[in-house]
Amino acid sequence: MKSLKLSRTTVDEFSSLLSHPFFPLKCPDDALNNYRELNRKESNQVTKLWKIINQERRKGNSNIVLRGHKKKSLRDALFASPFDKDNDSELAKKIFYFGAKAKAYSELDRRSGEKLFENINDVSEDAFHNIFKLIHDVLADNSGELDHFKYENPDFSNYFAHVNNVDDFVQSLTKLPESEVARDYYLYFLHTSEKYEFTSSSFFISTSEDASVARRFALSGGSGRIDSQTLIFVCFLPKEAQDYGYSIARINKLSQDYRSKGLPTYSTDIYDEKEVSIKGGLFPHFLMGYFDLEKYCFVVNPYLFNQSLSMAKIAEKGFKIDQSDFSGKIRDTNFKTYVWAISNSFRDHDVV
């Protein structure tokens, strides 16, 4: 049985992911309504690509991030019509075509009432007013949960504690030439704070560079048992997609620049989860595959086996996926809007 070995000899992030070191490599198969095992040639392709991606990771040219996701929430988002919940092949095909979207794009997760932002590019004064108010509310929490963050970032905490700073904040950010990046700098803080008023309509999706964090989110409640209806996505972010993700390392670099401009800055991850917040969602072009904890296997992105690109180009650019009928196919999902990313330029569109 061909398997992907998860050990420090391949990528150290996987060493603590799950206790068993082997997962059979599989891919979706329509005839079986399930997964099939890979043949020798396909397994060799996976091994070769994985090796290149890890080489690029060690050089600092690529990140590897993981995310635990429940099958039910994926089915609810990806299928607008009745579906066979036991057809894992059909679910896999949807995942590898659409990826996983941020909550802001889901009909089911979107809250009623006023939107916090008009769109993914919103850098209006209203948007910055909303950001200030949300950060103020987060930091007003007196439960003790944020005490460490406040201790490590006193100037940031004090700035947002005073509501009379809101006009200064809004005017400072609207004057910046790259105000959208600055906006996302503060949205990373809000997204990682897990404040419901923001995360329920966030256009970021959480991933982690720490496999143990993904594993923890794959567990069912506090019982310590693995939820068999959980997937763990494995994504790679090459240089071309680096702007899609905000990590604490990127935040710290931006902090240096913004501090010199007199803006309030922070430098620590609230929950120390090595979070990488991906803008828009997990694009399938960078989805290596996922662990299916119910079927106990690693499901490989099938586009790997139908590529005109070399393995080195896939590691550099991502998988080549024909999405020419994307606007038509997304009508069969429960997404209300969707996002296109060209280079580091993002645009969202309504599903019509």
pLDDT at res. 85: 79
Judge whether 284 and 74 are in contact, CB under 8 Å: no
**Does the pLDDT of residue 217 top 80, yes or no?**
no
* Band of pLDDT at residue 9, cut at 50, 70 and 90: very low
> How far apart are alpha carbons 120 and 339 in whole angstroms?
8
What is Dmax (Cα atoms) for the chain? 65
Please tell me which residue, 296 or 36, carries the higher pLDDT value: 36
Residue spans of alpha helices (H) in the chain: 40-59, 71-78, 88-98, 125-139, 147-152, 154-161, 166-174, 179-193, 196-199, 211-217, 248-260, 311-317, 326-329
Per the CB < 8 A criterion, the answer to whether 99 and 284 are in contact is yes
Tens-digit pLDDT profile for residues 273-285: 888 999 999 999 9
Query: What DSSP state is assigned to residue 4?
Result: E
**pTM for this entry:** 0.88
> For residue range 46-71, what is the model confidence (pLDDT) as tens digits?
989 988 998 898 898 988 999 988 88
Rounded distance, CA 75 to CA 72, Å?
A: 5
Q: Which of the four pLDDT bands, split at 50, 70 and 90, describes residue 222? A: very low
Name, in order, each residue with C-beta under 8 angstroms of 291's C-beta and a sequence gap of 6 or more.
17, 18, 23, 231, 232, 234, 297, 298, 299
> Which tens digit of pLDDT belongs to each residue from 174-197?
999 999 999 999 999 999 887 756
pLDDT band at 157 (very low <50, low <70, confident <90, very high): very high
Rg of the Cα trace of the chain? 21
3-state secondary structure of 25: strand
Euclidean distance between CA atoms 331 and 338, whole angstroms: 11
Banded pLDDT at 310 (limits 50, 70, 90):
very high
pLDDT at 158 over 80: yes
pLDDT score of 344 more than 90: no
